Amino acid sequence: MGLGYVGVTAAACLASQGHDVIGVDPNATKVDTILNGKSPIMEPGVEDLIRGARTANKVTAVTSIVPEVAQADLVMVCVGTPSAADGSHNMTHIAEVSRQLAVLVKENPYSRLTIAYRSTIRPGTIEELIQPIFDGVLSSEADRIELVYYPEFLREASAVQDFFDPPKVVIGTKTGAPCKVLDEINEGMKAPVFYVKYRESELTKFVDNTFHAVKTVFANEVGRLCVQLGISAAEIHRIFVADTKLNISPSYLRPGGAFGGSCLPKDVRALQHISRSTGGSAHLIESLIESNEAHKSFLFNYVTKELEFGASVLMIGISFKRDSDDLRESPNVDLARMLITAGYQVSIFDPHVKPDSLIGQNLGVLSNSPFIRQLLVDHPTMEGTSWDLVVDTRGTASDYSITARRTVDISRLS
């Protein structure tokens, strides 16, 4: 249920394992793309899996729930939970899908479904929102539904690898007991498995993503300090991450670009909302978005230092992450907007962002930032032009034959 990044990846990977998969999404473009053996998202490896699954007749897609769903062994709910104005998650899609599934079960008296929610949801959502929906529709027959919270730990651009080899598996049930269907799905995985109750499993993803945001903000604050003091941020990073006994891991801890994308900003805002609404005093968490916004301004000043008004600027990479076309809350979109507003002649090269292929929320970003479409240049144009400044958001400028007076790699402050 839901064919965004999580849903499409799950459909492709499960079908490649021999499971029969039905993808459901009201977006007809996504459905048609899958039926044509292609992927509606830019994610390495996914399109190959979908093509193979379509050839083997292991995956199909529809725009609304079909009767066959009532006979499924497992339903995965992967619909979006976008940020509301106050930072909380908008639960409209979760509620509607739950209602549709409840009605489906009611109309099929012999149906018993295990429904695993993968969307990021506030602790208490299953008990206080989802379970009451099923109770209201099914009343005394609500026990025909097994509700599970099953958070995903997929990174864009490596989602297929993460699906088959996750860092951990978290399964939340009413009592904390195992879920037979998910145990069968996950058989053979080497990752540690945690069986917990609903609320523990619901909070897990917030904790992870907020810590990733903490690491990014911390690294960037250190990086800014290093630049101001004339110290090599790259050397400080190299020394810091060498300590694997105390400093944990190098992931997210390299000074560079601001954090963005579909998960970290949304989940940090949601955890901030949870903290405020429950009386928590989470001062570090409250400061994350503010510090991240400050880093965007710092990067703008950093790359435009001594740059003349009207200078030609090439940005390599506009999506929030390499090997992805995801524009949602991309800090690179914000940087491009600041450069344009300041009067620079900006061009953008991103081999993965193809405006005519964007759908869903990414298409919405394009509509709100039409300059992206207007400023995209192709490979020959990029290499055939002399630029005053190249802003490398990926660390890939050296892969191309670019003529520029100055190149700044913001993926790694040095």
CA distance 366 to 252: 27
Cβ burial 178-199 (10 Å sphere, 16+ → b, else e): ebebbeebeeeeeeeeebbbbb
Helix axes 264-277, 198-229, angle to 10 degrees: 110
Single-letter code of the amino acid located at 276: R
Which of the 8 DSSP states describes residue 212? H
C-alpha distances out from residue 17 to 49, 157, 186, Å: 10, 20, 11
Domains with residue ranges and CATH for the chain:
5-200 (3.40.50.720), 208-409 (3.40.50.720)
**Catalytic: 263?**
yes
Catalytic residue (one of 13, 78, 226, 263): 263
Cβ burial 355-389 (10 Å sphere, 16+ → b, else e): eebbbbbbeebbeebeebeebbbeeeebeeeebbb
**Mean pLDDT of each 10-residue bin along the chain, 414 residues long:** 96 98 97 97 95 98 97 96 89 97 96 96 97 97 97 93 96 98 95 97 93 90 88 92 80 82 89 83 86 95 95 96 89 96 96 88 87 93 96 95 96 85
- Tokens for 114, please give them: 């295990």
Instruction: Give the model's pLDDT for residue 413.
Output: 85
The per-type count for the chain, helices as H runs and strands as E runs, is: 16, 11
Helix axes 46-55, 28-35, angle to 10 degrees: 70
Strand order in the sheet with 345-349: 345-349, 312-316, 386-392, 403-409
Instruction: Give the model's pLDDT for residue 278.
Output: 80
Instruction: Give the model's pLDDT for residue 184.
Output: 96
Instruction: Give the model's pLDDT for residue 261.
Output: 87
Rounded to a whole number of angstroms, the CA Rg of the chain reads 23
